[in-house]
Each structure stands twice: as structure tokens, then as C-alpha cells.
Amino acid sequence: MRAVVQRSGRAKVTVGNRTTGSIDHGYVVLLGVRDGDSETDAHYLAEKVAHLRVFEDDSGKMNLDLEAVGGAVLSVSQFTLYGDVRKGRRPNYMQAAAPEAARRLYEVFNDALRSYGFDVETGEFGAMMKVELVNDGPVTILIDSERKI
């Protein structure tokens, strides 16, 4: 699994004219699920996101986590994180998980984040979404469960 974590001042996701999720301060997480990923991968990423220290303390150092700043998460499924463009110009998505498996692991990831006590807003799995965010910093971190070591 891959997560692109963006520190955000505020963010929202809409489907059509309907807002499906919004946060004021925290992380926007774009989550991609690869064929062969498991619940272990989802829990690994959730733990990393929950304890990631990229918010500034009083000294201006990135030393605080999401809980310390009272932040929330806007989680958006994004199969295109597994787009492979090494050959040609159009991405292939052969590494991305099938929709049923991806949806289940996306939900496991979101539930795991909620178990840490965070408010988790979401997009709509499989829908065409518009994501708006104010990227704070900007700070953007890539976490991949395949590269744990």
C-alpha cells in the first residue's frame, strides 16, 4: 500500500456537487492499494500516519504528531498511485488491487486511524472526485508498506 500524506490547513472532497468529507487542519491522505496487499499493510500505514511528526512545535521544528495538534484526516482512495509509466506514455495499473479488495483495505485503513481516536473524513470509493486542499508548508510524505525496512 502507498500513502501520500499532505499536511493541510483545510481540505475537502466533493463528488458532483456534494461534499463527502472535509477537515480544517490535519492530513490529506491519498491511499493506493496494490494487488497482494493485506490488512497488515493497512495497519502499518495507519500506525505510521497516526504517529508521523510533521507539525511544528514552539521552536519551529517538525516534532508534533496529529494528536498533539488536534488534527483530523481526509482519506481519499487513489488507485493511480500504482500507475506504471516506465513503458510508453499512458500509465498501466496492473499493480493496483481489484476494486473489491482495494475497498476493503481502504476501509480497514480508515477504521484503524479511527481506532487511534482521529476524526476521519473520506471521499467516495470509486467515484470521480474533486479534492481541494491548502497544503500547509508544503509538507508531503510518501509512505509505502512494501518498503518497511
Instruction: Please identify which of the residues 14, 20, 40, 78 carries the catalytic annotation.
Output: 78
Give pLDDT, residue 149. Answer: 55
Cell numbers for 119, please give them. Answer: 476524526
Q: Are 8 and 135 in contact (CB under 8 A)?
A: yes
Our answer to whether residue 80 is catalytic in this structure is yes
Q: Which domains does the chain have, with CATH numbers?
A: 2-137 (3.50.80.10)
State the sign of the Cα–Cα–Cα–Cα dihedral 95, 50, 134, 136. negative
Give pLDDT, residue 146. Answer: 87
pLDDT tens digits for 19-54?
Answer: 999 999 999 999 999 999 999 999 999 999 999 999
The distance of Cα 133 from the centroid of its chain, to the nearest Å, equals 13
Instruction: Please identify which of the residues 6, 55, 79, 118 carries the catalytic annotation.
Output: 79
Q: How confident is the model at residue 147 (pLDDT cuts 50, 70, 90)?
A: confident
pLDDT tens digits for 100-137?
Answer: 999 999 999 999 999 999 999 999 999 999 999 999 99
Q: Can you tell me the distance from the alpha carbon of 66 to that of 50, in angstroms, rounded to the nearest whole number?
A: 6
Q: What is the pTM of this model?
A: 0.94
Long-range CB contact pairs, 56-62, < 8 A, 24+: 62/139
82's CB contacts (< 8 A; 6+ apart) are 2, 32, 33, 34, 93, 95, 96
Cell numbers for 140, please give them. Answer: 508531503
Could you tell me whether strands 2-15 and 120-122 are parallel, antiparallel, or unpaired per DSSP bridges? Answer: unpaired
Cell numbers for 125, please give them. Answer: 470509493
pLDDT tens digits for 68-108?
Answer: 999 999 999 999 999 999 998 999 999 999 999 999 999 99
Q: Can you tell me the distance from the alpha carbon of 69 to that of 24, in angstroms, rounded to the nearest whole number?
A: 12
Cell numbers for 34, please give them. Answer: 496494490
Cell numbers for 56, please give them. Answer: 511544528
Instruction: Please identify which of the residues 6, 19, 40, 80 carries the catalytic annotation.
Output: 80
